[in-house]
């Protein structure tokens, strides 16, 4: 992403928002004669509540471009919430810790955030394995994980009633991708993915979508391990099956490497990726080789200012050193949904009452864009866009 995001993170450090609000000293004269119990109750009612959102996010490492953008977008909304909600007695405190896209570090961060830092919930973990780690620790601590990014669909099962999703499922994205293939007569579809938790979750989502749509199975599958260079053999095996389209389930690093090799081999079939890839880092690495790729997106275009939530986001971006992006917009939307849930629950909420409020937000209009928070909800009718990238990096609808 842009250097400004890195500069901003460096200045802000791990704790990005202190939140809080001043308590007004003025009281009516008759308050002096109130009983101690009544005075204490009145003081408690008037005291502001700072709601702590604890986020483990890759600010360094393989997914840092996505993590920095998502984190920055979330901070933009948290700042906005605090400025506009001072009178309500509720403030948001956003704590963001770097996990380097490592599940073990995400696990340690989750324990620290819920233990030492007393976070009210975990928020916006990025990465499949990291999100599963956060969900597990949250369940152990009687807390919740809100708005994970790139989480496997198993976190939508009844085993995780404490996980609330802002983005649609990977299977929903897969259905959109495969329906597009079917619409243009492509029946020979292959998949290449990272040989990690995210890649395997993407493969499972594609296979589930194939079953639901009742279309032909994948003609080839190749999972590319991290490190070394086993992509050549994997690509050769896939190309032997003459696929009309290849679905890529990987971060920008693997995706860029595979795309270059496919282009060099003479393959010019359709290349399609999930939203997790990150458009900006992909274009920065691939350059003109990105031309013609189709990418699924789960939030509106950050340039569609006619949509209220995008207009709100762009106004916040204009007053910052950030650059608009899909990931930044998603972070902004996730933080807004969390803030709305807290507002509805009231400052006296408990984990149980907040979770009940979130479960009831199954059709929340965040600003011309609707989201469903209820755990386990599959919603293939959600607005998922497929965009194409021109050689010069322009996004084509």
Name the packing angle between helices 170-183 and 197-213 (round to 10°). 50
Per-residue pLDDT at 229: 73
pLDDT one digit per residue (tens) for the chain, 397 residues: 433 443 444 434 444 443 333 323 333 333 444 455 555 544 455 678 999 999 999 999 989 999 999 999 999 999 999 999 878 889 999 999 999 999 999 999 999 999 999 999 999 999 999 999 999 999 999 999 999 998 899 999 989 999 999 999 999 999 999 999 999 999 999 999 999 999 999 999 999 999 999 999 999 999 998 766 778 999 999 999 999 999 999 999 899 999 999 999 999 899 999 999 988 888 888 988 888 899 999 999 999 899 999 999 999 999 999 999 999 999 999 999 999 999 999 999 999 999 999 999 988 999 999 998 876 655 655 678 999 888 877 777 6
Q: What angle do CA 190, 192, 193 make, to 5 degrees?
A: 145
Phi-psi region of 262 (alpha: psi -120 to 50; beta: other; left: phi over 0): alpha
CA distances from 45 to 24, 198, 342, 345, 346 (A): 13, 45, 16, 15, 11
Give the pLDDT confidence score for residue 10 in this predicted structure.
41
Distance, in Å, from the CA atom of 318 to the CA atom of 90, rounded to the nearest integer, reads 25
Cα gap 384→362, rounded to integer Å: 17
Q: State the Cα–Cα distance between residues 395 and 50, nearest whole angstrom.
A: 40
* Sequence-separated (6 or more) residues with CB below 8 Å from residue 211: none
Burial 161-176 (b: 16+ CB within 10 A, else e): ebbbbbbbbbbbbbbb
Q: How high is the pLDDT of residue 316?
A: 97
Tokens of 70: 């998502």
CA distance 312 to 335: 13
- Say how many C-beta atoms besides its own lie within 10 A of residue 193's C-beta: 26
The pTM (predicted TM-score) of the whole model is: 0.87
Q: What confidence score (pLDDT) does residue 374 get?
A: 75
Q: What is the pLDDT of residue 2?
A: 39
d(CA 349, CA 57): 26
Q: Which residues contact 351 (CB under 8 A, 6 or more apart)?
A: 120, 121, 142, 143, 144
From CA 76, how far away is CA 17, in angstroms rounded?
10
- Identify the pLDDT of residue 382: 64
Q: What is the pLDDT of residue 47?
A: 76
Q: Which of 168, 150, 151 is nearest to 136 (CA)?
A: 151
**Residue 268 — φ and ψ, nearest 5°?**
-130, 30
Q: What angle do CA 368, 311, 286 make, to 5 degrees?
A: 100
CA-derived radius of gyration, the chain: 22
DSSP for residue 217 = P
Measured distance CA(368)–CA(350) in Å, rounded: 30
**Residue 19's pLDDT is what?**
37
Q: Which residue has the tokens 């900006």?
A: 280
pLDDT, residue 379, reads: 61
Structure-token pair, residue 246: 């290849």
Q: Measure the CA–CA gap between 331 and 209, rounded to whole angstroms.
A: 27
Who contacts 110 (Cβ-Cβ below 8 Å, separation ≥6)?
54, 56, 122, 125, 133, 134, 137, 138
Residue 330's Cβ-count burial label (10 Å; 0-12, 13-18, 19+) is: buried
């Amino acid at each position: 992403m842009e250097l400004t995001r890195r500069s901003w993170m460096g200045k802000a450090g791990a704790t990005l928002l202190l939140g809080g609000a001043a308590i007004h000293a003025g009281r009516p004269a008759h308050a002096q004669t109130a009983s101690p119990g009544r005075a204490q109750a009145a003081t408690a009612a008037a005291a502001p509540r700072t709601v702590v959102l604890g986020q483990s996010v890759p600010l360094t490492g393989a997914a840092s471009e996505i993590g920095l953008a998502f984190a920055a977008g979330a901070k933009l909304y948290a700042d906005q919430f605090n400025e506009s909600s001072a009178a309500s007695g509720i403030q948001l405190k956003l704590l963001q810790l770097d996990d380097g896209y490592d599940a073990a570090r995400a696990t340690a961060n989750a324990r620290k955030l819920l233990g030492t830092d007393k976070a009210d919930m975990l928020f916006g973990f990025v990465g499949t394995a990291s999100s599963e780690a956060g969900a597990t620790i949250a369940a152990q601590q009687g807390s919740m994980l809100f708005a994970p990014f790139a989480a496997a669909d198993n976190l939508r099962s009844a085993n995780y009633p404490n996980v609330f999703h802002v983005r649609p499922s990977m299977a929903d994205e897969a259905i959109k991708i495969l329906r597009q293939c079917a619409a243009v007569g492509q029946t020979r579809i292959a998949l290449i993915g990272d040989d990690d938790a995210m890649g395997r979750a993407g493969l499972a989502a594609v296979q589930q979508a194939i079953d639901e749509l009742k279309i032909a199975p994948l003609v080839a599958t190749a999972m590319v391990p991290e490190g070394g260079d086993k992509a050549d053999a994997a690509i050769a095996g896939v190309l032997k099956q003459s696929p009309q389209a290849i679905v890529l389930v990987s971060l920008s690093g693997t995706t860029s490497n595979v795309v270059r090799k496919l282009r060099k081999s003479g393959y010019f079939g359709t290349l399609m990726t999930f939203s997790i890839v990150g458009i900006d880092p992909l274009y920065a690495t691939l350059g003109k080789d990105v031309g013609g790729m189709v990418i699924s997106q789960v939030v509106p275009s950050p340039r569609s200012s006619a949509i209220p939530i995008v207009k709100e986001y762009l106004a916040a971006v204009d007053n910052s050193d950030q650059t608009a992006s899909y990931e930044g917009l998603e972070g902004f939307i996730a933080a807004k949904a969390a803030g709305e849930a807290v507002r509805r629950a009231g400052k006296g909420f408990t984990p149980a009452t907040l979770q009940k409020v979130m479960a009831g937000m199954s059709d929340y209009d965040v600003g011309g864009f609707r989201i469903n928070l209820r755990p386990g909800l599959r919603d293939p009718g959600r607005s998922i866009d497929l965009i194409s990238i021109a050689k010069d990096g322009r996004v084509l609808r």
